[in-house]
Structures are given as structure tokens and as C-alpha cells.
Amino acid sequence: MKLFSLAGRTALITGASRGLGFAMARSLGEAGATVVLNSRNPADLEAAAAKLKAETIKAETAAFDVTDEPAAKLAIEGIVGRHGKLDILVGNAGIQHREPIGQWQQSDWNRVVTADLSACFFLAQLAAPSMIKQRWGRMIFTTSIIGITGRATVHAYAAAKSGLAGLTRSLATELGEHNITCNAIAPGYFETEINTELMKNTAFVDKISSRVALKRWAKPGELGGVAVFLASEAGSYVTGQQIVVDGGMTSTLTL
């Protein structure tokens, strides 16, 4: 058995039409998994899947809003119906909202927490039965170093990502007896579409780079190897962990 092989595995990756989700889907597919890409936009999904298929990766699409539990249930039932199982869940979809504290509305808070935290719980709940039945499964959630360090104006995002790390640990505790591992990946600053506006600010880019031990922002593909490790037999005894992928930013003290 090849430790990092995902041949024969089926993976659902949410928020996978671009950015980190797409990068993780590509890496899982390169390792042999059939990857099911999710986002809310069917056209974007089909374009993303076409790119992977052109690389001989087995890719499918499942367009639904992760906050729509009935739609998520139908999608996961469809995957299990087609493939007989769902081996890997990557809960990556999320949103952001930036405002000074005095300008936040309750609806802003609820929208971010629902998408970034609650949706991951319900996806895990929907995915668990198939994994329990076969006594094998992998759940991987995308958190953030913001959930560790905090940052002004992104209060709901910081709270949701910190909560998601806690949820990862509680799921790991409950599902471990079924040979299901649950882990989180906490990215630092990556050159993705969601950060396009931030990257236009040269001073901000330089400020972040100066605080990173490797002195640069990450490329999306640099998250893929960690996802493959956690999804494969190589990570079979790793559970309840949050692996930080930030180029050393949270370990570096800048005076």
C-alpha cells in the first residue's frame, strides 16, 4: 500500500471552484481520488472541473450552498448513490465580513458564523453515516491563523474559525472509534482570488511578508500536500489536530 495514495477514494471539497479549495481538490485528484467540486455557481464549477479533467484527474461537480442543509443532504446522498460511499470531506467554503465593531449588524455576524462554522458541522453530520458504515473516513476543515491570532474588524470570521478548530477536536473524539479522523488546516496568507484586493496594496503585502519566516506569501498549491497527508493512510494516526501552514508567521515575533 502506498502511504499517500488516494486511489479508489471519493472526496467532496466545498468552496472548490477556485483558490485553496481548488488547489486541494487538484492535489487530492493527483493522488488518485475522484474529486467532487462544490460551490454555489454551476458555471464556475464546470470550468474548474474541466481544468482538472484536462490533467486526467477524475472530477465531478455538486453545485449547492453549504448553508442550505436540504441541498447539502441531496448532494451527499447523490455522491454516495453514485460511488457507494463518501470517503473524504473537505469543509473549505467560507465567507468574510470586515467592519469596525460599531458597524456590525446581527445579520452580518449570523451570516459569517453560519457559513464558516455551522455549515461544517451539518456537512460532517451528513457525511458521517457513510464513513461509519465502512469504518473509514477523513474530515478536513479549513480554519485560519486569524482564529489563533485574531485581527481587527473580522470578528465573526475569527470566532468562527476558532470555533471550527474546537469542532474538529470534538468530532475527532466522537468519530475516532469508527476509524474516522478529523483535522483542520489553518492557512496563513495565500495568493488567492479572495485576497486580490489585499494584494493590490503593496505596503500591506510587504508588511505581511516581513512577518513571515519565509518572507513571502504562499502559493495555493502549497496547501495541497497537507490535505493529501491528512486524507491518506500516511495520516492514519493523526486526528483532532490543527496544522498551521503559514510560512512561520505565527512563530515569528517582529519587533
Give catalytic residues, as residue numbers.
157
DSSP secondary structure letter of residue 35: E
Question: If we measure between CA atoms, which residue out of 129, 120, 157 comes closest to residue 15?
Answer: 120
Q: Parallel, antiparallel, or unpaired for β 34-39 and 10-13? A: parallel
**Exposure string over 15-52, b if 16+ CB within 10 A, otherwise e:** bbbbbbbbbbbbbbbbbbbbbbbbbbeeebbeebbeeb
C-alpha distances in Å from residue 136, one per residue of 141, 182, 211, 231: 17, 11, 40, 11
Question: If we measure between CA atoms, which residue out of 235, 244, 146 comes closest to residue 182?
Answer: 235
